[in-house]
A and B are shown apart, each in its own frame.
Chain A
């Protein structure tokens, strides 16, 4: 009996000791041992929700959100109203910019009305959603619950700081609170100020490694690589090794594989393996965009813009880590733009020049407004710029957007930022880009470009979206929304209303194509083509029609269809090359060259393209173009170096550069000493 009592006492004491031990190990930063202790604790007490919550919080702190969420959910299965578990899930959702974060924080607060951290999170989420008045109200509620709620103070202070009110009564004087403020500044693309706040956080708490890491990442974003590396290495040495820290260090290590080209206005960083090929195209386009924007925005950038081009999408992704929204193609940090390389994506899926112009527009707008611009406006303007350069650039009306219009899911202008930061459905970010772009198109069309410029200046002064809309456009935001939607409806009605018929029709055409029923294809595809003319993806009507016409031997009609495809923004390299071939066969070399030249903006990593275009330019007397294209062939380590050098020699000779021509001839003949055409030219040049 005494023995049994002893065992019972020991069993009762064990959890307390083990929990204490797990917590103590955690406090000592002995994370693996702490995890093991928690694991044992959870196994020994499968019905204890609190242990799971603490274990989950440890995982959350140690960069493992999925495990944390799993434990929080397990805790909720045991105790459905476990407030800390709900808060834990809300934090996981908040870090992933998921819309359910607010709802989960509210549920946590319902479960425990005294849970200050949940109330503080609601304040933070509201501010991240660019709703400062709601954020302030939520923060004050937190302060009512606890006068020492430093995160709530951080939110109130951040609202003041964002509005340039430096003297705030809410200065939290606390490391993690400054870090929260810094992160919100970064979300608002105000990187320099964010960096200052991270520094403040570190000064208040030198071992706040999360702030060190973010400081390093943001320094790197702005191009201050030496200090960035030092901060990140410090984190690493102190075992703060979250994915962002480790991947950023790895990315910085990979910079030795990049080549940097500089002009007075541009810094271009390209990967060694494609630097020689891409350099002329990217640099020329950067300079063209900057020159255009100088005039258009009436603003001159005070330093060169840096564009980094990543052939490995994973490297690019590191640059966008921790940022909301898609960030899928390019991202701008002040004067630094990071973007995917065309070689990093399947041919035809990425218009690199469109992306570059988009990002460079951000450089202007962000700097003109000193980073005080709502996301919808800078994104909208950047999307507007894509098609302003050339109508066939930019993204087309895609099925997700059609469905959003149909289901009336477009957001009012005053709330549009939410669609970028915290989407409520998977495709809302894409839809928001489209909507913002069309809004800027609409303003440009109805009120003119000067109004858009005036809006930029208003935002620079700190005005809100409703105030700017009212001031510059003379209408209330609600009225603007009404008019915009009416205009959009008129533009898209045919497609939106006919979408289902178009889809059914396209399936029928695809079946007819399989059965080689060309007459039927032509009849049915022609009937649906103009319902949804923007559809230029795989299996588009234009291609079906062109195939059918070609099968019937009607090259002229096929060419006409493919011209339509090109005009509405079709980007498939194979299709555009097919069009160029048809045009060449019809004797339209100039048109063929123009079509192929467009591909330089889509898929310049194509030897055949450059060779064909070089030949066309040369035959059309555009020797500068021919030289550029033949140089591109050589930059790609061609399958036929002898012929490639010879082609370049021909172009140089035509351009009256005999010495350069001779050099290329020697290179051609070095590769193939018996190459007759090159021998013949060498003899001619040696006379």
Chain B
């Protein structure tokens, strides 16, 4: 991803941390309880080894426990930090207000938004994987905040499976589609969405959930974020999970020139791909091959 260098430099220059909070709500049935807890634990397990991660997981949490955890993070996090909230469970939407179902009183989207606004971390990601979660977008959206919902609106009320594949995105290297050792929020969203679609297809069932992403602070969320609809830019730059030691190179001043060359090549490749339709296939292949080879050599030098 062409923003890698920017990210790396940011990561290198600032001691930024990422705060992760995963919350599971009421299952209602043993099967759901079990699955929700299992998914949350898997998320916890996938995130803990990541450098500079501060991971907290609340299973079957009450509203007070969620409030307390968010207050804690609000006190600890710095503006340069990132914050990720993941909600698993059942949600409801009455046409006006979204709620995640928790033991005891539920938590509404508007209250959640207030709690999130208190967290100083500039970059925020909220992944609401409950049923009816699309109903929460209008409350949660905000500039510099990526909001992912498992359903396109509040009326998709059936239990969702999106969370199952979100968990997979954190453990399956396939989710890192551009192979830069960072799974971005956009990559994880696309991975989980694709798997969710495949799930319903394989079961010959009509899909009862359609995940959406909103990161402009003003939209309703879209199924397929792209430059055309203006969604996904922030999510693409939001590192959800760092797989390798990608930050290491950026700490070596001697390699900054190589990194700059690498970024330049990546930009040239992106441009070539953008112009693909206008270039004869053989010429495109030739140019692409040369750039990729150059990039591979640059990377080889960086890895030494």
Contacts and interface: CB of A to CB of B under 8 A. Distances in A.
Nearest to B174: A640
Given A345-B204, A672-B177, A682 B292 contact: yes
B90 to A, nearest CB: 23
A391 interface: no
Given A639-B195, A683-B297, A671 B289 contact: no
B228 interface: no
Contacts of B180: 672, 674
Contacts of B292: 666, 669-670, 673, 679, 682
Nearest to A349: B204
Given A639-B191, A682-B292, A346 B297 contact: no
Given A343-B201, A679-B300, A686-B293, A674 B177 contact: no
A680 interface: yes
Interface residues of A, number: 31
A671 B295 contact: no
Most A CB atoms within 10 A — which of B288, B292, B293?
A: B292
B13 interface: no
Given A639-B191, A676-B299, A683-B293, A671 B177 contact: yes
B285 interface: yes
Contacts of B299: 674, 676, 679
A344 B203 CA distance: 9
Contacts of B179: 642-643, 672, 674-676, 678
Interface in B209-227: none
Contacts of B178: 642, 671-675
Interface in B190-208: 191, 194-195, 198, 201-204
A154 interface: no
A202 to B, nearest CB: 40
A277 to B, nearest CB: 13
B266 A674 contact: yes
Q: Which 6 A-B pairs have the closest CB atoms?
A: A640-B174, A675-B179, A679-B296, A672-B179, A672-B178, A669-B292
Interface residues of B, number: 31
B4 interface: yes
B269 A673 contact: yes
A598 B203 CA distance: 20
A217 interface: no
20 contacts: A346-B203, A346-B204, A603-B202, A605-B202, A639-B177, A639-B195, A640-B177, A642-B178, A643-B174, A643-B179, A670-B273, A672-B179, A674-B4, A676-B299, A678-B179, A679-B295, A679-B300, A680-B296, A683-B293, A683-B297
Interface in B228-254: none
B300 A683 contact: yes
Contacts of A346: 202-204
Nearest to A637: B194
A641 interface: yes
B105 interface: no
B175 A682 contact: no
Interface string B1-17: 00010000000000000
Nearest to B4: A674
A417 to B, nearest CB: 33
B296 A683 contact: yes
A484 B273 CA distance: 69
Interface of A: 343-347, 603, 605-607, 638-643, 662, 666, 669-676, 678-680, 682-683, 686
B204 A344 contact: yes
Interface string B177-192: 1111000000000010
Interface string B260-289: 000001100100010000000000010011
B173 interface: yes
Contacts of B265: 673
A642 B295 CA distance: 16
Contacts of A638: 174
Contact of A639 (B194, B204, B295, B297): B194
Most B CB atoms within 10 A — which of A343, A638, A679?
A: A679
B30 to A, nearest CB: 10
B286 to A, nearest CB: 10
Given A605-B202, A666-B288, A666-B289, A682 B177 contact: no
B203 to A, nearest CB: 6
A338 to B, nearest CB: 19
B20 to A, nearest CB: 23
A129 to B, nearest CB: 35
Contacts of A641: 177
B174 A639 contact: yes
B206 to A, nearest CB: 13
A639 B175 contact: yes
A674 B292 CA distance: 9
A675 B4 CA distance: 13
A607 B172 CA distance: 14
Nearest to A681: B296
A50 to B, nearest CB: 46
Interface string B63-87: 0000000000000000000000000
A679 B292 CA distance: 8
Given A680-B296, A683-B293, A683-B300, 16 more contacts: A346-B203, A347-B203, A603-B202, A605-B202, A639-B191, A639-B195, A640-B175, A643-B173, A670-B288, A671-B177, A673-B292, A674-B295, A674-B299, A679-B295, A679-B300, A686-B293
